[in-house]
Amino acid sequence: MNTSARMLRLLSLLQTHRYWPGGELARRLEVSPRTLRRDVDRLRELGYVVDAVRGVAGGYQLRAGGQLPPLLLDDEEAVAVAVSLQSSAAGGTPGMEETSVQALSKVIALMPTRLRRQMDALRSQTERLPWSSGPALDPALLSTLAQACRDREPVHFTYTAAVRDGVTAEPTERWVEPHRMVSMGRRWYLVAYDRDRQDWRSFRVDRISEPRTTGQTFRPRTLPAEDALSFVQAGIRRMPHRYAVRVVFETGIDDVAAVVGRWATVTGTSTRAVLEMNVDSLEWPVFVLATIDADFSVESPPELAEAAARMAARFARSLPEAG
Amino acid sequence: MNTSARMLRLLSLLQTHRYWPGGELARRLEVSPRTLRRDVDRLRELGYVVDAVRGVAGGYQLRAGGQLPPLLLDDEEAVAVAVSLQSSAAGGTPGMEETSVQALSKVIALMPTRLRRQMDALRSQTERLPWSSGPALDPALLSTLAQACRDREPVHFTYTAAVRDGVTAEPTERWVEPHRMVSMGRRWYLVAYDRDRQDWRSFRVDRISEPRTTGQTFRPRTLPAEDALSFVQAGIRRMPHRYAVRVVFETGIDDVAAVVGRWATVTGTSTRAVLEMNVDSLEWPVFVLATIDADFSVESPPELAEAAARMAARFARSLPEAG
DNA sequence: GCGATTGAGGCCTGGTCCTGTCCGCAATCG
DNA sequence: CGATTGCGGACAGGACCAGGCCTCAATCGC
């Protein structure tokens, strides 16, 4: 066996089992104990911290050091990493979506197909989080786009624009130079230069399908905005959401903020909180009303008040008319 | 630079950027193009699939192959992986908790302290999922225990038994031989042989604190049960939960199952569903009542009916008395 | 189609460094 | 104190590694 391959195996062994007697390691790697000691030295030279204990029942142990060693995952673990990164990328961990997608594309791009199949199977049986509205994002799609951004490869895809005034737009073919992925709230956007329209656009990732890259690369252009995030935000403000929610709660802002987190703005005092957010669907706001155990008043939109009234009526019907 | 170190760097480069011209790689690794070609060959011999494109603008590209190469994550990515594995381990991805913890302990054990700090910071600002009751599990605790199981190291810890009849039990010191971690619903259990009591026990992980291992190992005993899961289940059935919930919904079982997932049993027909579950807290069942848009009747417990009535009253107070 | 570019890989040479062996030392445990 | 296990220096033989040089093969732009 090659020296490099042996180092990798050694790292792997040290990762899967906490404690190894030197003799055992030497036997597994099929080298003399002396060579093993040298291999351990080499690891240490690479910056990894390998503890050694002498005496009877001594041995080696890889410890946290200055840098993270290459992670050697077995199949199951790789699938677990990929699946959980998916949910993070889909908004499960606010503020970390971009990095999650980055890590996810690393893993997915290198995952053997058999593991990808396992991953798909697992993902489909995964429950949707209660508050996540809309279809779950396809992680393969996310990571394909993220890689295209990173590697500066033009992308073809089919885009189904938003429904406007009840008219469903026809799917269109796009041919873009991807610039960056942006995660806003629970949604992903691709900021890209549209080659046909010769202008910058932001695309909602959940409306993108069948992405294709050709393997070519393009020369990056400069985005006409401070950064990709502000570009997307500017676009969103121009296109208002369906409902502008405004609710006053008779409780402290902390209680409200604890529930809604970053998905909305909360202002007010320690006894009265004003919640404001823009949404397309009323599921989430109704859930918020139910969760926050405080009196409230819905200032807008009327549809939310109606939805809340419907729920109240349903409860009233369902509960016995006790005291 | 060492050959092994160079191979690792090459792998890392091929992972961070999709496409590399050979000359560029050779320059970065400070070797001749000939040697680079040999390094690529070596990678291929290790089982990794490296595509090569000839001609102008040719280059190398690492592709999915038969096995996953060692993941070379940068700091941010490592933190993202750890944090998302945490939420998977805590039950975010049913059926994958064990493997997640396994992968998590690999990562955490090797993560430099600066990254661990980042991770803690991120975790604390992470919103609790609406349905997750109780304090979030400490990932360090989970992975410490998981490693102890794997490495067969006896563990000392402080255990605060459950509250019984309003009497808070005193924390006790335990000295156990850990056998396996089991994830049930949204909860973790440690199945272990209690050295002082000389019997097998299952411990709720969220009641364990200050775990200490000594670095020794023990000879594994055989668990007096088919497997660890059934051992825990047997224990739980003997110790009933606080509330036995039973609710009838005037809708199909599918609608109900879609919301509660695996956390409860749903029986019935396509027009009438019976939901049964055992819980310690009423938060989750109330949420289920609110989410499932159908008339219902609470058969038990009375406390749930009261909680629902309170919410209905709160809504009634909060909404204008329109039509 | 042709030339420029870039990867593939055989061959050779010099020399690096890698391995196994032998040895004395140090630490740890019973 | 002795057994065990890790540490590391010295050394000899040899594996293998790097670089140079060459010829082919594929690809792209002109």
Residue-wise pLDDT tens digits, B69-126 = 999 999 989 989 998 888 777 766 666 777 888 899 889 888 898 888 888 777 655 5
Separation of alpha carbons B255 and B261, rounded Å:
10
Q: Which of residues 223-252 of B touch A (CB under 8 A)?
A: none
Domains annotated for chain A, with CATH where assigned, are 3-62 (1.10.10.10), 65-124 (no CATH), 131-239 (2.30.30), 243-318 (3.30.70)
pTM: 0.74
Q: How far is the CA of A22 from the C1' of C24 (A)?
A: 20
From chain B, the residues in CB contact with A305 under 8 A are 319-320, 322
Measured between CB atoms, does B311 come within 8 Å of chain A?
yes
Report the half-sphere exposure of B106 (CA within 13 A, side-chain side): 27
Contact by Cβ (8 Å): B21, B61: no
Contact by Cβ (8 Å): B63, B50: yes
* pLDDT for B133 beyond 50: no
Out of A134-148, A211-225, A272-286, B184-198, least confident range: A134-148
**Distance between start and end Cα atoms, chain B:** 80
Q: How far is the CA of A8 from the C1' of C13 (A)?
A: 31
From chain A, the residues in CB contact with B126 under 8 A are 93-94
For range A258-262, the mean pLDDT: 66
Place B130 in a pLDDT band, splitting at 50, 70 and 90.
very low
Helix (H, G, I), strand (E, B) or coil at B292: coil
Which residues put CB within 7 Å of chain D, the nucleic strand?
A 2-3, 21-23, 33-34, 37, 40-41, 52-60; B 3, 6, 31-32, 34-35, 38-39, 42, 53-58
Q: Looking at residue A255, what is its pLDDT? A: 78
Contact by Cβ (8 Å): B98, B181: yes
Query: Which pLDDT tens digit goes with each residue over B213-248?
Result: 876 777 778 888 888 888 887 776 666 567 888 999
Compute the C-alpha angle B187/B192/B196, nearest 5°.
130
Instruction: Pick from A33-37, A50-54, B124-128 the range whose average pLDDT is largest.
Output: A33-37
Residues pairing with A248 in the sheet: A274, A297
What tokens appear for A73 in the block? 């995952």
Measured between CB atoms, does B102 come within 8 Å of chain A?
yes
Measured between CB atoms, does A40 come within 8 Å of chain B?
no
- Whether the beta carbon of B29 falls within 7 A of nucleic chain C: the reply is no
Separation of alpha carbons B146 and B123, rounded Å:
20
Contact by Cβ (8 Å): A205, A141: yes
Separation of alpha carbons A102 and A105, rounded Å:
5
Give the number of residues written for chain A. 323
Helix (H, G, I), strand (E, B) or coil at A65: coil
Contact B130 A131 (CB under 8 A): yes
For range A131-146, the mean pLDDT: 67
Ramachandran category for residue A168: left, alpha or beta (phi over 0 → left; psi -120 to 50 → alpha): beta
Q: Which residue has the tokens 């799609």?
A: A141
Task: Tell me which residue in A64, A83, A87 faces B112 most closely, judged by beta carbons.
Answer: A64
Measured between CB atoms, does A198 come within 8 Å of chain B?
no
Of B8, B6, B15, nearest to B36 (Cα)?
A: B6
Q: How far is the CA of B33 from the C1' of C7 (A)?
A: 10
* pLDDT for B36 beyond 90: yes
Contact A150 B18 (CB under 8 A): yes
Bond into B94 cis (ω within 30)? no
Backbone angles phi, psi at A156, to 5 degrees: -95, 140
For A196-206, letters b (16+ CB in 10 Å) and e give eeeebbbbbbb
For B19-35, letters b (16+ CB in 10 Å) and e give bbebeebbeebebeeee
Which nucleotide is closest to A55, CA to C1'?
Answer: C28
Measured between CB atoms, does A84 come within 8 Å of chain B?
yes
Place B282 in a pLDDT band, splitting at 50, 70 and 90.
confident
Separation of alpha carbons A316 and A236, rounded Å:
39
Task: Tell me which residue in A87, A262, A319 faces B84 most closely, judged by beta carbons.
Answer: A87
- Whether the beta carbon of A39 falls within 7 A of nucleic chain C: the reply is yes
